Amino acid sequence: MRPRLATLWLDGCSGCHMSLLDLDERLLEIIRDFELVYSPLLDVKEYPNAVDIALVEGAVSTEADRRRIQIVRERTRILVSFGDCAVTGNVPALRNRIGIDAVLAVYETPPTREVPMLLPVFPVHQVVAVDHWLPGCPPSPDAIFEVLRALLEQRAPAPSGVRFGS
């Protein structure tokens, strides 16, 4: 049976998912070897049960992010922090130094119900347990491919040339 793969987009720019798409023809291998069960690239509303691998892009920066990542952790065997925002907080975390009130000060009436409540920004591993980290803004397609191959072959991922930033 093919491993069940999910990809998630929390507070990030979607650049990591763009880099995933940059796998180009190797996407055919990914689709052959994995069953993609949840992703911004699919029209699936609810995070499914018994997911083998989840790539999580983005930092945890709202109450909704926090609820989502907790559900993802409960239902996923191997969770990968995918890209700098998930690994470090990165650009979303720039607001931590000025606080949420300063961010909301741009609104005449700060939104309360329509959008999820903002939180201080956390890297994913400071909210739930993370199994692997793949830094990069974004991680290169080669690095993403190596991580997915390694997890498929049940060995420790060893992507080369990985660095924070771009």
Residue 82 host element (H or E): strand 76-82
Among 69, 119, 137, 151, binds another protein (CB under 8 A): 137
Structure tokens at 49: 């049960």
How far is the CA of 114 from the CAs of 68, 101, 110, 111, in angstroms? 17, 17, 10, 6
The alpha carbon torsion through 53, 58, 60, 66 (nearest 10 deg) reads -40
Q: What is the phi/psi pair of residue 32, to 5°?
A: -70, -40
Chain residues 111-130 in contact with another protein, contact rule CB under 8 A? 123, 125-126, 130
Q: Which CB, 119 or 137, lies closer to another protein?
A: 137
Q: Which CB, 28 or 158, lies closer to another protein?
A: 158
Could you give the string, one character per residue 19-58, with x where binding to another protein holds by CB under 8 A and - elsewhere?
----------------------------------------
The alpha carbon torsion through 71, 37, 44, 125 (nearest 10 deg) reads 30
Amino acid letter, residue 3: P
Could you give the string, one character per residue 64-83, with x where binding to another protein holds by CB under 8 A and - elsewhere?
-----------------x--
Q: Which CB, 38 or 133, lies closer to another protein?
A: 133
Size of the site for another protein (CB under 8 A): 26
Burial class (CB in 10 A: 0-12, 13-18, 19+), 121: buried
Q: Is 104 in the site for another protein (CB under 8 A)?
A: no
Q: Which CB, 98 or 117, lies closer to another protein?
A: 98
Q: Is 84 in the site for another protein (CB under 8 A)?
A: yes
Query: Residues 110, 118: contact at Cβ < 8 Å?
Result: no
Q: Which residues bind another protein (CB under 8 A)?
A: 81, 84, 87-91, 93-94, 96-98, 123, 125-126, 130, 133-135, 137, 161-166
